[in-house]
Amino acid sequence: MAGIVVLFGSVGAALGGAGGMMIALLLAAAMNVYAYWFSDKAVLKMYNAREVDASTAPEFYNMVKELAQNAQLPMPKVYIIDEDQPNAFATGRDPEHAAVAATTGIMRILTQRELRGVMAHELAHVKHRDTLISTISATIAGAISSIAQFGMLFSHDRERGVHPAVAILIMIVAPIAAMLIQMAISRAREFEADRGGAEISGDPTALAAALKKIHNYAHQIPLQTAEQHPETAQMMIINPLSGEGIKGLFSTHPNTEERISRLMAMAV
């Protein structure tokens, strides 16, 4: 997180000198505050998630309730997203203000046992407080891309402006650097959430089977919101982005086969 804020300030300094750096750092501070208090609501609204309860989705809601009790967590808010791509995520600044969401696609293709493993994984993120880290890093990383694209506005030399070559370099390098930092945060936390989820559900093979299914389906079915806001991809249980090649190199998720292998080792 410190690395992302430093990067934000460095981009501001490169484009606008000391004044640009101060503006960028103030923006970073403001976005951290915003992300802490409101990022969960913003992400859920972005994905058009609808809240459900024991009367509107009893089977799913009660599954989450049982797993939350297993994890000794307060009951989170439960949401369903009307999307065909199978995926799920958790958000919220702390366990007392957490929410978990699953797509209709994941509820359709997984067995109840497999879905239970997925929701246990998401609750492990809540228990480890990964949700706060991921939402703040996503907010700042997205802002770095924006400030790089509008870099000319932060020029301290209004007559000459930023040299076009420098501006282009910053526009390319800054978002990549932000993604690299996100990768370091997200990949490590996914392994821990797999382990924690397997412990909460008591069924590591169910989560392993779910990951295999989701991986096979997710890259065939686009998730337009994630494509439009790739900084949110790290929140999902499986990378929702359809890009291959260079885009795939910057995946915020570890290799699915390795995740499955570790879960199967836990089962043994």
Give the three-class secondary structure for 93: coil
Q: Which neighbouring-strand residues pair with 102?
A: 80, 88
User: Closest Cα to residue 65, out of 51, 80, 54, 79?
Assistant: 54
The residue annotated as part of the active site, out of 51, 83, 114, 122, is 122
Give the three-class secondary structure for 268: coil
Angle, vertex CA 25, rays to CA 22 and CA 31, nearest 5: 140
Whether 96 is a known active-site residue: answer: no
72: left (phi over 0), alpha (psi -120 to 50) or beta: left
- Encode burial over 15-52: b for 16+ CB neighbours within 10 A, e otherwise: bbeeebbebbbebbeebbeebeeebbeebbeebebeeb
Catalytic residue IDs: 122
